[in-house]
A = this chain, B = another copy of it.
Amino acid sequence: MVYRQTEARVQKDGELRERILKLALGRVADAGFAALTMQTLADDAGIATGSLYRHFRGKGELAAEVFSRASQREVDALAEVLATPASATARLSDGLRQFAARAWDSRQLAFALIAEPVDPEVDEQRLVYREAYAALFVQLLEQGIAHGEFPSQPVHLIAACLVGAIAEALVGPLSPPARAGRDAGLSNPSLEDVSDALVHFCLRAVGAPLPVPEDQP
């Protein structure tokens, strides 16, 4: 009986942990990591703050886990597009457009993941996930070079450049000031503007053939 009680307790704990993480992700998606505090999250979950601390040692650990779950979802979505049988050029272009569109659909979450100033534990995870994205691009670059689509190039360094370019292209348009300006009707780039610029930049950067004629001045 003791054993079965323990098993039931472990399962109940696991379920509560899942529920807490879903609520936490919802908070971050709505208002960024700044809105994630142990007190408000405990209130959301209808548990005592002390119980929450049994599951997460603190805000930093919780934020890091919310970050890595949300980021893994994006890495998986990108990996899926990059694994289709199209040319490396088409896969890069499609992957970039999907990544930008997903970020655009959840701007607060995307900004929180990419650049919101937050606990060092999340910064640690940012470095880890940037390496996960880079690994996907290394593979794609190697395939594109092998098939003669891209010139030979140091794939690890170029993959890092791609990861940085993508993150930074989105940080500006996704940042709270840019979003406030857009809401106030000021001119700000659209998703199409950002996607087009990013695709052109990255395809040119890796030496891929461009999908549309250049707009030469």
A89–B198 CA distance with the chains assembled, in angstroms: 20
Answer whether residue A120 sits at the interface, using C-beta atoms and an 8 A cutoff: yes
User: Interface residues of A: mostly helix, strand, loop or mixed?
Assistant: helix
Q: Provide the residues of chain B in CB contact with A162, threshold 8 Å.
A: 165
Q: Who on chain B is nearest to A168 by CB?
A: B164
Does the CB pair A156–B127 fall under 8 Å? no
Count A-side interface residues using an 8 Å CB cutoff. Answer: 55
A158–B156 CA distance with the chains assembled, in angstroms: 21
Does the CB pair A157–B171 fall under 8 Å? no
Does the CB pair A127–B117 fall under 8 Å? yes
**In angstroms, how far is the closest chain B Cβ from the Cβ of A144?**
10
Does the CB pair A215–B151 fall under 8 Å? yes
Does the CB pair A171–B217 fall under 8 Å? no
Does the CB pair A117–B120 fall under 8 Å? yes
Within residues 20 to 63 of chain A, which ones have a CB less than 8 A from any CB in chain B? none
22 A-B contact pairs sorted by A residue (CB < 8 Å): A116-B123, A117-B120, A117-B124, A117-B126, A127-B171, A131-B172, A152-B217, A153-B197, A154-B189, A156-B172, A157-B172, A157-B189, A157-B194, A157-B197, A160-B169, A161-B201, A162-B165, A163-B164, A165-B168, A165-B205, A167-B168, A205-B205
Q: With A152-B215, A160-B172, A164-B166 given, can you name 12 additional A-B contacts, CB distance below 8 Å?
A: A117-B120, A151-B215, A151-B216, A152-B216, A156-B172, A157-B169, A160-B171, A162-B165, A164-B168, A201-B206, A204-B205, A204-B206
Q: A residues within 8 Å of B by Cβ?
A: 115-124, 126-127, 130-131, 134, 145, 148, 151-154, 156-158, 160-169, 171-173, 175, 189, 193-194, 196-198, 200-202, 204-207, 214-217
